[in-house]
Every structure is written in C-alpha cells, then in structure tokens.
Amino acid sequence: MDEERYAITDTKQDILSHDQRRDHIHVLTVDPTLGEDIRERIGADKRFKRCTLICPRANTVREGVEEIERTAQETTSSRVIIFDVRRLTMPKLRRAYNAIVGYNRKDFNKTCFSICIGDGPLTLFKNGQFANPFVPHLSAHRVDFHPAVFFFDPFLHYEPDETLLQSIDEEFIIPHTIPKRLVPYFKSDETTVPTIRHFFRAVDKDDPTRKARRNMLRHVYKKRLAELFPGREDEYKDLLTREGIRWASERMNLYPLYFEDWVYDLLRRARQNADVKPPTAAT
C-alpha cells in the first residue's frame, strides 16, 4: 500500500509576529479613574483622531479583570499597549498580563511598544534615597513587560499604612483618596483622585487653561521632589522633562507629564517599523 505523502511549504511567516497591527492603542487597567484619564487625554488630542483606543468599560475590578482576560488576544492588533502595573492590582492581573506579553513579545520595541504606568517601589520614600529603590523596580518590569518607558504616577503610590488589606477573593476596592503626603498641596482634605485627574487634564478647557494646569501640576511635583531630596536637584531634574530620567537602559517619566507625546511618538515609530521591508537575499 502506498504511503500518503504530504507537501510542506515554508511560507516564511513568523507565527509569533503579527503583521495585522493597526493604529490601535490598548489600555489595560481595572481602575476606571485612570482609564478615563488616559481615554480623555488621548481622545482630546487631535494627533490621535484616526486612532482606535481600546479600554475596559467595566465598573468593578472583578469585571475589569474578566474583560482583560477575555480580550487578551485582541491586543495583537495594537501598536501601543499601556499596562497599569501598580502593586495593588497586579496579583489579579498577572495571569492576563502574562498571556498578553506572550502574544506580543516578539513584536515589542519593533512594531508594538508597551508603556507601564505604576506606583513605584514600596520603599520609595524611605531612607531619603531616590535612584536606588527605582533601578531594581524598573529592571523587573523590563523583564516582564519590555516597556519603552515607565511612567511613575505619584497619585497611585500609597504608603503601607494607607492601604486596606483585602482578600484576593473579595470584591476589590481601589482607593480614591489622595495619598497622605500629597494632601497639603490641595485646599480640601476631601479632594479625591478622580477630581484631581479631571482638574489637571482640563480637556473641556481652552489651550491656555490646559497649559496653566500642566505647569501647576509640574510645579507640585517639583516642589514635592525638592522637599523629599533637598539639595539633590541634579538627580531628579530630568524627571520633569519630556525625555525623562535614565539609569543605564531604564527610562522613567512622571505621569501624566508628556504622556500623550510619548504615546504618539511610539505609535508613529511602530507604524514606521511595520512599513520597513525586510532585506531580500542576494541572488
């Protein structure tokens, strides 16, 4: 009896790479406040008018985690993926994030770029150190997420005594109160993080007002850094610039300063890289 034979053709297609990426931006967070801030900032920027922004619409952490897990493979259509990597919600998102990184790893920093937004290391404000706690923290995220840039968000960082211990099985609550160290910079102790984010993004205001509020937030950050690290401005001054601060291969900025600029530049770079034709073999 004749054996069946199969013709196998090598199409040269890399199944771990995705050539169907479009001008899509995936936002991965279970925090409706941060999600809204990113969505409105990008939505109000005319540079993104032809882009599609994909962000969870869930109202609870549990629903948000389920939505991200369910749609994980859809991230392969995006040129930019934004990860919320704060310590508080990482245990719930770790499985989904592992899957998403697996789907996109081959394309990271080529036709797809990742951005991390996080709360920094737990010991950030201990012992008066600035760079030492951040370097291993950023290095760990580089291994996990391959980010083009890490945005540290001061409004996500709570000291250990400010966070409520919660079971991984109970309905999770993300705090909306301002971290205690930032309360003195605002007129009312009752001001919440959603209120602050809405005020500073000012998407419903004119350009001069938006610029004034950006400068106001930058001033708050600069003043806080000066109080934390007196006489050491040279160590952190770049953190307030568009390029951010660099330690070896690690790069960090302050959210939301220049956030939209970074997203746009990475989107453009991913598009340009996708248009580059691979070299053909010499004949």
Secondary structure element (H or E) that encloses residue 84, with its range = strand 80-84
Look at residue 101 in the predicted model and tell me its pLDDT.
96
Three-state SS string over 136-166 comes to HHHHHHHHHHCCCEEEECHHHCCCHHHCCCC
Which residue intervals of the chain are DSSP H helices? 32-43, 61-70, 90-104, 131-145, 193-201, 207-228, 233-236, 259-275
What whole-number distance in Å separates Cα of residue 14 and Cα of residue 19? 9
More confident residue, 282 or 41: 41
Model pLDDT for residues 251-264, shown as the tens digit of each residue = 899 999 999 999 99
Which of 15-29, 38-52, 193-207 is the least confident region? 15-29
Model pLDDT for residues 149-158, shown as the tens digit of each residue = 999 999 998 8
Q: CA angle, corner 60, sides to 36 and 256, nearest 5?
A: 25
Average pLDDT score over residue span 169-178: 76
Mean pLDDT, all residues of the chain: 86
Q: What is the maximal distance between C-alpha atoms in the chain? A: 89
What whole-number distance in Å separates Cα of residue 51 and Cα of residue 86? 26
More confident residue, 277 or 40: 40
Token reading at 129: 């150190």
Cβ atoms of 257 and 151 closer than 8 Å: no
What whole-number distance in Å separates Cα of residue 110 and Cα of residue 132? 30
Cis upstream peptide for 256 (omega within 30°)? yes
Token reading at 133: 């706690």
Average pLDDT score over residue span 54-74: 92
Beta strands 149-152; 113-118: pairing state: parallel
Model confidence at 133, in pLDDT bands (50, 70, 90)? Answer: confident
Look at residue 163 in the predicted model and tell me its pLDDT.
66
Q: Which of 5-19, 31-45, 128-142, 147-161 has the highest mean pLDDT?
A: 31-45
Look at residue 127 in the predicted model and tell me its pLDDT.
63
Residue 90, φ and ψ in degrees, nearest 5: -60, -40
Average pLDDT score over residue span 199-207: 94
Which of 149-153, 211-215, 230-234 is the least confident region? 230-234
The DSSP output letter for 211 is: H
Model confidence at 283, in pLDDT bands (50, 70, 90)? Answer: very low
Look at residue 36 in the predicted model and tell me its pLDDT.
95
Model confidence at 222, in pLDDT bands (50, 70, 90)? Answer: very high
More confident residue, 237 or 232: 237
Q: Is the pLDDT of residue 282 over 70?
A: no
Q: Is the pLDDT of residue 115 over 80?
A: yes
Model confidence at 249, in pLDDT bands (50, 70, 90)? Answer: confident
To the question of pTM greater than 0.85 for the whole model, the response is yes
Look at residue 190 in the predicted model and tell me its pLDDT.
76
Look at residue 130 in the predicted model and tell me its pLDDT.
67
What whole-number distance in Å separates Cα of residue 280 and Cα of residue 158? 53
Number of residues that make up the chain: 283
Token reading at 189: 């102790």
Token reading at 122: 């737990």
What whole-number distance in Å separates Cα of residue 141 and Cα of residue 147? 7
